[in-house]
Amino acid sequence: MQTKHNHIIPLSHEGGTLIQTCFGAFTCGFFIVTWLLSILSPIVLYMSISTKSHVSTGIILTLVALAYLPIWDRKGKVPTAIRSFWRTYNPMYYKKCKVLFEDTLPASVGDNKPTFYAVHPHGAVSLGWSVLYLSKCMDNVRFCFSPVLYYSPFFKVFSMITGNPGKADKKSMISYLKKGENLALPPGGFEEATITSPNQDRVYIKKRTGFVKLCLQHGYSIVPVYCFGEKETFHNVQGFWSLRFKMNSFGLPAIAIWGASWFPVLPKRGKNGFFIVAGKRIHVPKIDNPSKEEVKVWHDKYMAALTQIFEEHKVEAYGDDAKSMKLELW
């Protein structure tokens, strides 16, 4: 459906029954636990082996084997049913959930100039990202995850069934770009997770120029995406940034979070819910070997476009109190 401004709304949900909310809570909780287990899986395996816990070790190794067997046909009946369940109920955990495209929806590979969706903010556990990942309108987009997550057996099986995952390392990204696949990535990474604050919209972007350079080299359009409401899902301890950024450099999310008061693993159900806006395409030129100055020009344009999305939609997302809000660029 389209608005009078020709914006495309592929997902819009407000309110739901108690059963729908409970199913939504299950999908959110499952995603978060899977995410946490994925980060901790190397430690869990080490502890299982060192304590001679044969059952735990066997379960983990079985999952590893399953994750790398060529048995995951996304078109099969069981994966299709699981994916349909997640798509239906995941947004219903939140009091409101809406996805809006200011431009066209993702096209099939080869139909148009390929597109790179840069998603902000990462948030504590990327719940806005997960809403997009599960959305049918993004079926033609490969979502690139941290290799730490992608290689984890817990997360790999789940992500292969429910969406179209990929690795965010440079070699894999270049491979996808050469094929002309539509891609999605949270450029802020674990640093953006680290600076998450329930009181301030923040993105870690000033030093994140790599994705812009890749898009220039491969002739990709860039779409800035902002997930309003991500900041409200979890509390996160503030400060000690230098130490925490150092932890990020080792591939670790330096977060200390808690969510719902009645069950801290689940996100808070804030009154604003989620409002995810995919902005207009930035049509960058194809430059085989862009200079630092050329990368900076287009990176600056990207940051300006991202800020514009925030300014234009913040009141719709948060209400009149948001008029004085500003997006912090770190």
Kindly state the tokens that stand for 263.
């069950």
User: For residue 132, which phi and psi values (nearest 5 degrees)?
Assistant: -65, -45
274 in a domain, yes or no?
yes
Which residues fall within 8 angstroms of residue 112, CB to CB, at 6 or more apart?
A: 104
Query: What does the pLDDT look like over 198-226, one tens digit per residue?
Result: 999 999 999 999 999 999 999 999 999 99
Query: Which helix or strand (DSSP H or E) is residue 179 part of?
Result: helix 170-179
In a domain, 192, yes or no: yes
Domain-embedded: residue 3 = no
Is residue 229 situated within a structural domain? yes
Q: Is residue 97 part of a domain?
A: yes
Residues 6+ apart with CB under 8 A from 230: 121, 123, 126, 127, 128, 196, 274
Position 126 pLDDT exceeds 70:
yes
pLDDT tens digits, one per residue of 21-76: 999 999 999 999 888 877 777 777 778 788 878 887 787 777 777 777 766 667 77
- pLDDT tens-digit profile of 157-198? 888 889 999 999 999 999 999 999 999 999 999 999 999 999
301, with CB counted inside 10 A (0-12, 13-18, 19+), is middle
1 domain residue, yes or no: no
Query: Considering the domain boundaries, does residue 99 fall inside one?
Result: yes
The residue assigned the tokens 């094929």 is 179
Q: Is 2 contained in some domain?
A: no
Please tell me the distance from the alpha carbon of residue 181 to that of residue 187, in angstroms, as a whole number: 17
Q: How many domains does the chain have?
A: 1
What is the residue whose two structure tokens read 């919209």? Answer: 201
SS3 182: strand
What range does the domain containing 88 cover?
8-329
pLDDT level of residue 16 (50, 70, 90 thresholds):
confident
Handedness of CA 261, 192, 179, 170 (dihedral sign): negative
pLDDT tens-digit readout, 283-319: 999 999 999 999 999 999 999 999 999 999 999 999 9
**Alpha-carbon dihedral sign for residues 327, 31, 24, 144:** positive
The count of residues in the chain is: 330
| pLDDT (average), residues 229-248 | 95
Query: Residue 242 burial (CB < 10 Å; 0-12/13-18/19+)?
Result: exposed
